[in-house]
Amino acid sequence: MAELKKEPVDATPNVSAVETVDVATEAEAVAAIDAPVSQGEPILQVRNLVKHFPLTQGILFKKQIGAVKAVDGISFDLYAGETLGIVGESGCGKSTVAKLLMTLERATAGEVFYKGQDITKLSGRALKAVRRNIQMVFQDPYTSLNPRMTVGDIIGETFEIHPEVAPKGDRRRRVQDLLDVVGLNPEYINRYPHQFSGGQRQRIGIARGLALNPEIIICDEPVSALDVSVQAQVINLMEKLQDEFNLSYVFIAHDLSIVRHISDRVGVMYLGKMAEIGTDTQIYDHPTHPYTQALLSAVPVPDPSAREGRDRIILTGDVPSPANPPSGCRFRTRCWKAEERCATEEPLLAIPERFVAGSTPATHESACHFAEERDVVHAA
């Protein structure tokens, strides 16, 4: 039987220690990956994850002259049955994190533990088992489905790769059941993607993600290309499926109101770093990081009376290039609180000292030397 051992506590204070599983063979690794996880236990643990894309010069003889630091040392936990929302500006590294969790991109450094197994080091059957249990719903429902394949072939293709999930003679019925689960007529099995609306296509993408009975679904902006009314239908469907199949979501989006609606906890990313992380109430009602406060102040407020008394935070300057990020705090070039210390000392993602002794909603992790609460008027 595999032996459990405790790893040293991670240098990032906001995350728990990782229980790794020592395995001697690939079969034992697969068994550890397939073992159940109790509700509320960490199912995915990310530690100091880094992804740098090299910048090269030359044609015949290429020389690396730098790197785009898309993700630069983030850590977080995903618990069984919960939804972790990740928000941030375009280009902050959200989609790269999704690809790293799916092992579609190989990490430059860091670890991603799934049930005690570091998936960045897995290959063969063990990696195949991980990919069966961690699925993805893509951003664009128009380009993520093969236009030359029927809906039945698109969803059923997963069973060709993982035949142990559904016997060959049972696959058509299984696909029809999945269409029914996501609210589509099972008779649509022979239709092509161009015969569906955007919302229906995204339901097909969700059905494909559910086909292998995964435990985690990575949702990379799954509703950003849809109309508002269709967004609500898809979000409600995802919540229903989470309760029905005990799924864990990593939900990436730009829309702060949607993220708050579906998420149990929220992480805010800026330029490859995690700026702040906490429960939805802590992040939305008691933000302590200046960047989070600026994001929330940019949300439109429908109430005219509340809008008049609103303290809007206007950030100056452009987002720095991830190929040449600022020293120290990444946000300091646009922050109204920035001091000399911010340029020389990188803030850790930790509970600010002024809030450590208390138990207020402001007691959550924030990567800022001068973290404090600020009243922000939100959209309803």
**CATH code: domain of residue 127:** 3.40.50.300
Residues 185, 239, single domain; the answer is yes
- Of 233, 263, 293, the one marking the end of a domain is 263
Q: Does residue 217 sit within a domain?
A: yes
Looking at per-residue pLDDT, the higher value among 343 and 356 belongs to 343
Number of domains in the chain: 2
**In this structure, are 351 and 243 located in the same domain?**
no
Please check whether residue 375 lies inside any domain of the structure: no
* Pair 149, 90 in one domain: yes
Does 378 fall in a domain?
no
Same domain? For 95 and 217 the reply is yes
Alpha helices in the chain (DSSP H): 26-34, 94-101, 124-133, 151-161, 171-181, 198-210, 228-245, 256-262, 280-285, 290-297, 304-308, 340-344, 353-356
The secondary structure of 101-157, three-state, reads HCCCCCCCEEEEEECCEEHHHCCHHHHHHHHHHEEEECCCCCCCCCCCCCHHHHHHH
Q: Are residues 235 and 303 in the same domain?
A: no
Same domain for 31 and 99, yes or no, is yes
> Percent of the chain at pLDDT above 70?
91
Domain assignment present for residue 377? The answer is: no
pLDDT digits (tens, 9 = 90+) for 197-225: 999 999 999 999 999 999 999 999 999 88
C-alpha–C-alpha distance, residues 105 and 36, integer Å = 26
At 126-139, the pLDDT tens digits run 899 999 999 999 98
Sorting pLDDT into bands at 50, 70 and 90, what band is 11? very low
In a domain, 355, yes or no: yes
Give a yes or no: residue 380 inside a domain.
no
Structural contact between residues 349 and 14, judged by C-beta atoms closer than 8 angstroms:
yes
Q: Which of 32-46, 119-133, 162-176, 231-245 is predicted least confidently?
A: 32-46
Q: Which among 295, 263, 261 has a CA at the least distance from the CA of 278?
A: 263
Q: What is the domain extent for residue 322?
A: 285-366
Same domain for 32 and 175: yes
258 and 149 in a common domain: yes
Indicate whether 229 belongs to any domain. yes
Look at residue 7 in the predicted model and tell me its pLDDT: 40
Within this chain, do residues 292 and 250 fall inside the same structural domain, yes or no? Answer: no
| Predicted local distance difference test score (pLDDT) of residue 22 | 56
What is the rounded average pLDDT for all residues in the chain? 88
> If pLDDT is split at 50, 70 and 90, which confidence band does 184 have?
very high
Residues 171 and 309 in one domain: no
In a domain, 273, yes or no: no
pLDDT > 60? residue 108 = yes
Asked whether the predicted pLDDT for residue 2 surpasses 80, the reply is no
Q: Percent helix, strand, coil in the chain (nearest 5)?
A: 35, 20, 45
pLDDT over threshold 60, residue 5: no
> How far, in Å, CA of 139 to CA of 144, rounded?
8
- Write the CA distances from 141 to 124, 174, 223, integer angstroms: 30, 22, 9
User: 81 and 148: one domain?
Assistant: yes
Are residue 252 and residue 290 in the same domain, yes or no?
no
